[in-house]
Chains A and B, each alone.
Chain A
């Protein structure tokens, strides 16, 4: 019969309160989004049902579409983990975008500077390089926060711009390819092999799934995971019970960076075979939404990422079959996230009654 730990805002709780009715809220928000978006489509003079059908067919309609959705879900899911793990500790990492760029930079650096090696050796080395780089980059934000009391939202956001500049420099300054806005191509032996050729799904998918399993194990089966959860729920009692809150903070950021760094690397040694300008369609930022929809639960991150990937991939077919522009997909995603947050805030208010 107790309340929450002190000092938790309604919005913060809306983002992370464990709740058995979470799924119901999600479904409600999805239905609400469909209604609102349909109205908007109708207002544009288009047929909403045709638009919905187009999105579904464009993302799940055939093996190719499904494969494409899965491959977009890979970076989204990894960036989702990069947001969800620190969020659980109430550390607001909005830096997955930058951590992913640093991972991509490290990947291309390893791939282009090491002498030719066979794939089974080379690929793990590249991924390892990217993971370490992502961890260091994100860990830097953690250090700035714990050592100087910097606000992690601002720090991680600013580091995004720096990271993107570094990646751009790789493209224009270090390993320019010439005309195309990309680096030189990585050696063929480093490219992730396709594991499901019908759908053009590469090894990136099983690797991402394994990473998510690792995230789940970390959060629910290790002492560090318990400390991350405990600090997020009540930093005071955590400190009193002997936790090294600052060390765990830095470690949490570093762990988040490994997931984002991995995502960046797999974009480089995936279909692109190079570090390409704008390779990330805002995956780092969308990861935040993915994490929120998954309610920060590692087990729900992949389904959540697939949902977002489907919207993204599906809406690319919109202009062809209807008169709606591709960017409408972004509007749908935004509406869904807002609807979900709104539904949760309303539910929390209702549950708490008018206590004050």
Chain B
């Protein structure tokens, strides 16, 4: 890609960027939120047309009018939000859409065989007959990659592929990429994590504010240099964690059982949990082990089968989100585009949603105080470093990380008693993560209670006062952070109990 430029109104998302990818290379694309990574890759995948610049594939200049054109040239992209049909099997999802709509009959057996074949040659093991809704996220991601390989993609673009994976999932993804590289495939990985860059990348390209900051080869650079290129400065270390103040219990969960709405299985089983004022309790686990359902039940959007949830001794088990807000609950949902934001509303409107639901932000005469909304939004966007800080922009026009900041700004500004934060830093750049971490610690220090759900071990350990690991709907490991053992946590996440670490991986455990 040469001299790629893309403007969105006044914002220049990409400003004359050159990007080179060699055959059989794993290349990382780094940059802060809003640096232009997704935009650049969407251009390469034919999703959006560039204003200027050329794309050259194997020596010939090409123009992509649609993703189909890109796929015809062997370029495929996996979005951060998977686009799989949960009710279909793996094979159906892989084959779906790659044949003409007028194909008379869908030959299931043949499709499964084909998919098995692609899976085998690429080393990405999946069961073609499994339903998408039954398989964990890291396997779903494999299916997304298989989909592209099935369509003949030689270059795989992965937009923040590790954001939703636990350590084990990341490891298996990287192993898969290594196999594909040996077979002559190339991959472009968008990421915010420097450790991943050192782990897999042959080359690195760093963007900042829509401009190319530099291209590096593995071995010629180090994390510090990359971090400087990304942010234009060094990142300060997190403040030292204070000892938990141990206030009164704010959240008390007893015997909570929550069913997974799709499969009907118990996603959360008979769970007990307490979070005190001035305390951060971190819940870790590989995605799909009930953390999401736990967070949803606390937020009030998923009704539990049984059990009680007390917030400051008030029973909120049957309350809708509205009443929970009033009781002092704040929620940073995991899926920001589904539960957090209304993509087609403006930032000012998104930031005001909760207040407006409760009849706030009115002028006399019941009309909305539009000026007040704008002013408050401008202030929040400024404080939380959202780019661009324009209250009139639609949420859909922001980069992924900046959307996340908007959700955080709204929830934090309500000053909740209890904050349920599910993957709060997913998709954020290093600087923004740091900022959010400080906010969460700050809230704790002011006497708030925080339930942090994360699959980032570093984040878990950096923030939590107490840690619990969730596996198949239960806590299989609990510890005070000071006494916690990282290896034991990682193993518990994979379902291996600390006592019998050499037992069968994946065996269920019954640790209270």
Interface magnitude class on chain A: 20 to 34
Q: A217-B367, A240-B299 are in contact. Are A1 and B341 (CB under 8 A)?
A: no
Q: What chain B residues lie within 8 Å of A230 (beta carbons)?
A: 342, 345, 349, 353
**Interface size, chain B (Cβ < 8 Å):** 52
B400 in contact (CB, < 8 A)? yes
A233 in contact (CB, < 8 A)? yes
- A residues 207-265 near B (Cβ < 8 Å) are 217, 221-223, 226-227, 229-230, 233-234, 236-244
What is the 8 Å Cβ interface bit string for chain B, positions 334-354, against chain A (1 contact, 0 not)?
Answer: 000111111111000100111
Report the bound CA distance from A217 to B368 in whole Å: 10
What is the 8 Å Cβ interface bit string for chain A, positions 254-297, against chain B (1 contact, 0 not)?
Answer: 00000000000000000000000000000000000000000000
- B residues 41-68 near A (Cβ < 8 Å) are 42, 46-47, 65-68
Contact between A2 and B403 (Cβ–Cβ < 8 Å)? yes
Select the stretch in A3-11, A165-173, A193-201 that faces chain B: A3-11
Report the bound CA distance from A353 to B331 in whole Å: 35
B321 in contact (CB, < 8 A)? yes
Report the bound CA distance from A18 to B367 in whole Å: 23
Nearest residue (CB) in B for A246 is B320
Shortest Cβ gap from B439 to chain A (Å) = 19
Q: What chain B residues lie within 8 Å of A6 (beta carbons)?
A: 337-338
Report the bound CA distance from A229 to B346 in whole Å: 12
Report the bound CA distance from A182 to B54 in whole Å: 73
Q: A1-B400, A240-B299 are in contact. Are A223 and B368 (CB under 8 A)?
A: yes
Contact between B342 and A237 (Cβ–Cβ < 8 Å)? yes
A354 in contact (CB, < 8 A)? yes
Q: Could you pull out 30 A-B pairs where Cβ atoms are within 8 angstroms? A: A1-B38, A1-B42, A1-B398, A1-B399, A2-B337, A2-B403, A3-B337, A3-B396, A4-B343, A5-B343, A217-B367, A221-B368, A221-B370, A222-B368, A226-B345, A226-B352, A230-B342, A233-B343, A234-B341, A234-B344, A236-B301, A237-B338, A238-B357, A242-B321, A242-B322, A244-B320, A244-B322, A353-B46, A353-B66, A354-B68
The 10 closest A-B pairs by CB, nearest first: A353-B66, A242-B357, A241-B353, A242-B322, A356-B97, A354-B68, A234-B342, A223-B356, A243-B357, A240-B339
Instruction: Tell me the A residues contacting B by CB distance below 8 Å.
Output: 1-6, 18, 217, 221-223, 226-227, 229-230, 233-234, 236-244, 353-356
Instruction: Tell me the B residues contacting A by CB distance below 8 Å.
Output: 38-39, 42, 46-47, 65-68, 81, 83, 96-97, 299, 301, 320-322, 325, 331, 333, 337-345, 349, 352-354, 356-362, 366-368, 370, 395-400, 403
**New contact pairs (11) apart from A353-B47, A356-B83, CB-CB < 8 Å:** A1-B42, A2-B343, A223-B362, A223-B368, A226-B368, A227-B357, A233-B343, A241-B321, A242-B325, A243-B322, A243-B353
